[in-house]
Amino acid sequence: MIRYLIKNNAKLMGRSWVNVLLFAFCPVIVSAVLISAFSSLMEGYKEHGEMRCGYSIEAGSPWEMAEEALKASGANADIIFTEFEGGEPDKLISNNDLSGFVKFEGNKYTIYRVSDQPTQGAALEYFMSIFCDEAMNASAAKAPVDAAAKDYSYEDVKLAIEHPSFLKPVDSTGYYGIVFVLYYSWCAIICASGLLTSEKKYGIRRRYVVSALSDTQLYLGKFLPLAVVVFFGTIGAAIINSICFGTSWGNLLYAAFLFLIMTAASSALGLMFQSITDNMIITVILTFSLVWIAGFFGGSFETYMFSSQPEYLKVLSPIYHCNRAMVEQASSGRTDYFPSAILYCAGIVVVCSLISVAANSIRRRGRA
């Protein structure tokens, strides 16, 4: 009986052209639009080698004693410092094609960054932070001798410059070609809307009340075919994106497993709302509202990778974990978010399934 129910429900869901359109073609259409719109914005970062940065030092400033150390230490860190005696930093950066500018005044310094070179700006800030720490340590070590001892040479400044291995950036094809396939898969309940509406409309549920199937079996009769149909629809969209746009999915085993557990989570979430409300319209509204909010904070609508929203809000979104896990492993072959994405989705499956079974059981007993 349970096998017949699962098989029959899977056929009903799979034959709907609306389901095929939603899960196989809508992600492709949206991906195509966004890939085209943001292709120039999300061009991959190209390695520029040495950075050219300008600087100016106020006359009489204690920074004059550290000028040679600044140049030598900068050269070791692939930052070429060039002195400019006058002029506005913004104009000097523009006229001389600089990656940044440091203005030393009194006992402080100000860094001017280039808006379209965030990586170089961050590297310059990192260098200056380390340089100042080491310069102060070198000066303090000689200070007890006499006042003139503050004239230290660049050999006194030992910088431990680190070169962290950043994740490989991803272009618009790799980013939007992935995240919107994942995003649409969270709307799984739409796939079962026809089936659930028909059950209520034609009184099929009354037959379930007197059947030998348990509440858990009745739930699995909807959950399993829904998850399977959405899974294959999502895989279809992923294949189409790969063919049409060249989207890479990285390790296919990891990608397929994440798709499987994610579509199971989205199916369980939608069925939970339907079990609680017993109203398909309210279920769709709740599902889409939650998915949109999770997608907004999860990076589905950002024009660059996962950077505009506060971290504490992003980690609350299961879509954020799934997006990062899929995009990072596809672009660089490694990610720290795969375990959290799997655990998050598995938790949603367990919790939502238990709530659905309990809600259906209460409603069934009330009708018995």
pLDDT in tens, 225-267: 899 888 998 999 999 999 988 888 989 999 999 999 999 999 9
> What does residue 147 show for φ and ψ, rounded to 5 degrees?
-65, -35
Residue 60 region, left (φ>0) first, then alpha (ψ -120 to 50), else beta?
Answer: left
Residue intervals in the chain for CATH 3.40.190: 51-156
Kind and range of the H or E element at 263? helix 252-277
pLDDT: which is higher, 308 or 367 = 308
Query: For all residues of the chain together, what is the average pLDDT?
Result: 80
3-class secondary-structure state, position 309? coil
Q: Are 191 and 222 in contact (CB under 8 A)?
A: no
Query: Is 345 a residue whose pLDDT tops 90?
Result: yes
Query: Is 164 a residue whose pLDDT tops 60?
Result: no
pLDDT at 40: 61
For 151, 193, 279, the CA distances from 145, given in Å and listed in that order, are 12, 82, 83
Query: Is 204 a residue whose pLDDT tops 70?
Result: no
Q: What is the C-alpha separation between 136 and 83, in angstroms, rounded?
A: 22
Query: Is 183 a residue whose pLDDT tops 90?
Result: yes
How far, in whole angstroms, is CA 44 from its chain's centroid? 16
| Positive or negative: CA dihedral 71, 77, 82, 86 | negative
Q: What is the pTM of this model?
A: 0.65
Report whether CATH 3.40.190 matches the domain 51-156: yes
For 4, 181, 348, the CA distances from 1, given in Å and listed in that order, are 5, 34, 27
Question: In this structure, what token pair is assigned to residue 12?
Answer: 């009903």
| Positive or negative: CA dihedral 351, 352, 357, 361 | positive
